[in-house]
Amino acid sequence: MDKNTKLKLLTISSVLIDAVFLNLGFVAAFLLRFGFKLPEENFIAYLTVYPWVTLAGLLLFNVYGLYQSYKRSREEVIASTVWAIVLLLPVAMGMAFFFRGFAFPRTVFVVALILQLIIFIPWRLWLWRLEKKVFGARRLLLIGGHKEIHFTRDKIKDNKIDLFEVTGKLAAPGSIEEVKEAINKYRPEVVLIGNNLPDKLKKEILLLTLSENIPVYVIPDYYDIVLSQAKLESIGDLPVFYLEGLSLPAGMQMVKRAMDILLALIALILASPIMLVTALLIKLDSEGPVFYLQERVTENGRKFYCYKFRTMVKDAEKLTGPTLATENDPRITRVGRILRATRIDELPQLINVLKGDMSLVGPRPERPFFVEKFTGEVPEYALRLKLKSGLTGLAQVEGRYSTSFEDKLKYDLLYAKSYTPLKDLEIILHTLKVILIKDKAS
């Protein structure tokens, strides 16, 4: 049985078991709440709606990538499980409001949440270990420039997911014959092609690997990403790619703005107690204002003042000038470290979203000094200014604290070319997960 068949069987089995465990949590909550008796009226009402609650839970598990957990770290599996269960609570309560017959004490929801966390965290970790054992690390052949393959190898080692075992490296091959010899020697299950190779050789490697049915990863450059979502058209019988630029169409801009206003208002209401406590802690911890206003650059190069909770000492850049914060920056206060780790320091930017300076999702806004610096180093950096800046983005959920600005730019361009309202919701959900993972919080 090949790995793809095993994955399908394992996924089907885990979906069925997840459905059972989701409802087991609710049934157990009923029993605990009502003295180990099932009240007929309330439980019959639950039975009428449990398929929808179950479906919502399974969809949340899928959004958080729990049906391919072998691609994730242990910390990501735990964080994804916690958020999927926690977010199911308001969904189930919303259904209770919608289906008027589905009425029983709200304590049942809370007890079910606790029980499901107790059930699902061990179950999901056990399944994650099983998937790791079944699939193992795939043999990987790296092909690219001298520096590139060493950098990529180190990235794979630092990933902590063990998806691949680098069994071979081929630096700057001079011909396709060298690639054929490397494939025959290392017998890779997958090949990764770097960006620092001649286009002609990359095409030959792709043709070779695809003809041999060897899966391929390709490190893209900026224009590969821009072309990836191009529309295929024809002029006469000539096939052509059609590109319209990175700015969203007017209709999509209206939808995105409506979502921003609605979700930002809800988030501000829910977060207001946290923001009040945060303001008090900042004043008690160090001298200086609660809020920090900093000039940033958004869509089409427009400048605005970005609101944040202050996380550094007063006048932190008076001596250093504009400097990007580092992971162990001594200028960060005690409370500031907590705020940065949990991203609570970004909550005041919900006001920027309501004002229209920012969107909930988009490229993170940078300071004018760094926009000029990065654009000078990488001219393609200017392309990200075609989108309104965001409170979170694809680069924040897929990247890490140490991800280079070049790679973050690739994520920003990919987001620009693949935007949909559902994509924004998915990124927002994944942002919640990232908060719980130390090396991904930035």
Please list the rounded mean pLDDT of every run of 10 residues in the chain (442 residues). Answer: 80 95 91 82 76 93 92 90 93 74 71 95 95 86 92 82 87 94 95 92 94 93 86 92 85 94 95 95 91 94 95 76 69 89 91 97 94 92 92 90 85 91 94 73 49
Could you give the angle at the alpha carbon of 129 between the alpha carbons of 123 and 134, nearest 5°?
A: 120
Q: Kindly report the CATH number assigned to the domain that includes residue 162.
A: 3.40.50.2300
DSSP H/E element including 122: helix 107-135
Residues 151, 118, single domain; the answer is no
Q: How far apart are the first and last CA of the chain?
A: 42
DSSP H/E element including 165: strand 164-171
Helix residue spans in 286-344 (DSSP H) = 334-342
Last residue of a domain, one of 108, 134, 160: 134
Helix (H, G, I), strand (E, B), or coil: what is residue 258? helix
Residues 102, 195, single domain; the answer is no
Tell me if 224 is assigned to some domain. Answer: no
Position 104 scores a pLDDT of: 62
What's the 3-state SS for 15-84? HHHHHHHHHHHHHHHHHHHCCCCCCHHHHHHHHHHHHHHHHHHHHHHHHCCHHHHHHCCHHHHHHHHHHH
Residues 148, 264, single domain; the answer is no
Residues 214, 356, single domain; the answer is no
Tell me if 281 is assigned to some domain. Answer: yes
Position 367 scores a pLDDT of: 92
CA 88 to CA 60: how far, in whole Å?
8
Position 34 scores a pLDDT of: 84
pTM of the full structure? 0.82
CA 126 to CA 130: how far, in whole Å?
6
Position 129 scores a pLDDT of: 92
Tell me if 119 is assigned to some domain. Answer: yes
Do the beta carbons of residue 253 and residue 419 sit within 8 Å? no
Can you give the residue range of the structural domain that contains 49? 3-134
